[in-house]
């Protein structure tokens, strides 16, 4: 018998000074049995950085056809596709063909560096792709994980602070690849 997802609930207060976005979200997050607390919290971090009315968690690890997070318009077209971890080049290219903008949040220190060194040349000409590297501090995010979380997220000048009121983790994403500006 297969194990089911573990359900986490998060009351997430976001103060994003870079985008002028201030909102509280009541989130239900399903953590796949093979997913770590660190990966789940990186998904929550990515949610914080892109939060909006239409942003939703995908099925993630349980399906290959959905991202970790996505934003669709009213017609069902995918505006934003967000993956965390180290997805393969084929998956990224397929996502770039399906979505207006694709973001990959890589983490895992040495493994992430190796992944990017192998993938960078193959993905350099993809126009609608942004790849960000997260520092080793993502391991500290796992300590904030709880079945019922109250978190605050502050974003300013590209820096992110995530706190549960007792502990706080500072993260500064590093952009490895930005989207290519279209020529008109």
Return the domain boundaries, the chain: 37-135
Q: For the domain made up of 37-135, give the CATH fold.
A: Restriction endonuclease-like alpha-beta roll fold (3.10.640)
Report, as ranges of residue numbers, the positions in the chain whose pLDDT lies below 50: 1, 183-184
DSSP element (H, E) containing 98: helix 89-98
For residues 116, 122, 125, 126, the Cα torsion angle rounded to the nearest 10 degrees is -80
In whole angstroms, give the CA distance from residue 91 to residue 26: 30
Report the alpha-carbon distance of residue 11 to residue 73 in Å, rounded. 25
Q: What is the pLDDT of residues 80-123, one digit of tens each?
A: 999 999 999 999 999 999 999 999 999 998 999 999 999 999 99
Token pair listed for 141:
């995010």
Through-space distance between the first and last CA atoms of the chain, rounded to whole angstroms: 56
pLDDT at residue 48, rounded to an integer: 98
Q: Which two tokens stand for residue 2?
A: 């297969």
């Amino acid at each position: 018998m297969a194990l089911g997802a573990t359900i986490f609930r998060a009351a997430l207060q976001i103060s994003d000074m870079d985008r002028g976005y201030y909102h509280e979200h009541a989130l239900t997050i399903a953590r796949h049995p093979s997913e770590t607390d660190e990966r789940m919290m990186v998904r929550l971090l990515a949610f914080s950085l892109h939060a909006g009315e239409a942003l939703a968690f995908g099925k993630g690890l349980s399906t290959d056809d959905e991202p970790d997070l996505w934003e669709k318009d009213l017609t069902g077209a995918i505006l934003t596709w967000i993956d965390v971890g180290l997805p393969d080049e084929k998956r990224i290219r397929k996502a770039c063909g399906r979505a207006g903008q694709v973001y990959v949040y890589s983490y895992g220190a040495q493994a992430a560096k190796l992944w990017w060194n192998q993938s960078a040349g193959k993905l350099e000409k993809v126009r609608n792709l942004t790849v960000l590297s997260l520092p080793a501090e993502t391991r500290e995010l796992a300590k904030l994980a709880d079945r019922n979380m109250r978190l605050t997220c502050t974003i300013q000048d590209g820096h992110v602070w995530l706190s549960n009121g007792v502990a706080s983790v500072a993260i500064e994403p590093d952009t490895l690849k930005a989207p290519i500006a279209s020529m008109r």
